[in-house]
Amino acid sequence: MALTAKQQLFLALALAFPFFQVAICGDPDITSDFLVPAGTNATQLDGQFFTYTGMRPLITSDPPTTFTATKATMAEFPALNGQSVSYAVLQYPAGSVNPPHTHPRAAELLFLTYGTLEVGFVDTTNKLFTQRLQAGDMFVFPKGLVHYQFNYNEKDFAIAISAFGSAAAGTVSVPSAVFTTGIDDEILAKSFKTDDATIQKLKAGLAPNA
């Protein structure tokens, strides 16, 4: 029996539905005020559970000598689970870079609190958007797009605070993902239209002990 046009459309929608669900790439909405970790007695929760003190050392310690991202995601701060928010404090020594990377599950709203930064992201048409920020400026990196920050001041450090629209935004570093995960030299040489020696040099420079 042949299906009518309406039946065909319905069947197509029914088959596609699971894929639409997969394509919604963000934190799920929860149906309670907050999520209590497994094994925790909910009646014993208090304000402590909703407090994160892991950033306190940043206030008192000297600035780091390499680019450092200190995160407060649901991994460090379990009360964020289900709340679709997280933070990272980003410290940039003079002249340092946060290499190109993406956050697959969230946009990033960066607030530069000290110093200067050159920021940039590339959209899905390969258009580059860049800006030089001064302290007090904000910049938004759209969800999932490749982006970077560079402290172009060779004499002074910079500090930024980034908010994410996910409790677990995830980070994919472009250099690490491509050159430190064991992808075959020949595949990379063909992909980057270069030779094996160049790929090996890039891999060596990114090796953990380099």
Instruction: List the binding residues for Mn(2+).
Output: 101, 103, 108, 147
Tokens for 150, please give them.
Answer: 């560079």
Number of residues in contact with ligand NAG, rule: CB under 6 A? 3
CA 197 to centroid of chain Cα atoms: 31
187-206 binders of ligand NAG (CB under 6 A): none
Closer of 32 and 43 to ligand NAG (Cβ):
43
CA distance 86 to 106: 10
The reply to whether 48 sits near ligand NAG by the rule CB under 6 A is no
The nearest distance, CB 45 to ligand NAG, in angstroms, is 10
97-102/86-92 β-pairing: unpaired
The nearest distance, CB 36 to ligand NAG, in angstroms, is 11
Tokens for 7, please give them.
Answer: 């039946």
User: Cβ(206)–Cβ(180) under 8 Å?
Assistant: yes
CA distance 178 to 185: 10
In the sheet where 146-150 sits, what is the strand order? Answer: 128-134, 116-122, 146-150, 97-102, 172-173
Closer of 41 and 124 to ligand NAG (Cβ):
41
Closer of 33 and 154 to ligand NAG (Cβ):
33
H or E element in which residue 7 lies: helix 5-23
Q: Which of 4, 21, 43, 134 binds ligand NAG (CB under 6 A)?
A: 43
Closer of 43 and 66 to ligand NAG (Cβ):
43
Q: Which of 4, 31, 44, 61 binds ligand NAG (CB under 6 A)?
A: 44
Closer of 43 and 51 to ligand NAG (Cβ):
43
The nearest distance, CB 49 to ligand NAG, in angstroms, is 14
CA distance 35 to 42: 9
138-157 binders of ligand NAG (CB under 6 A): none
Contact flags string 12-41 toward ligand NAG, x per CB under 6 A: -----------------------------x
Name the binding residues for oxalate.
98, 103, 108
CA count, 13 A, side-chain hemisphere, 41: 2
Nearest Cα residue to 90 out of 42, 148, 35, 143: 148
Residues in touch with ligand NAG (CB under 6 A): 41, 43-44
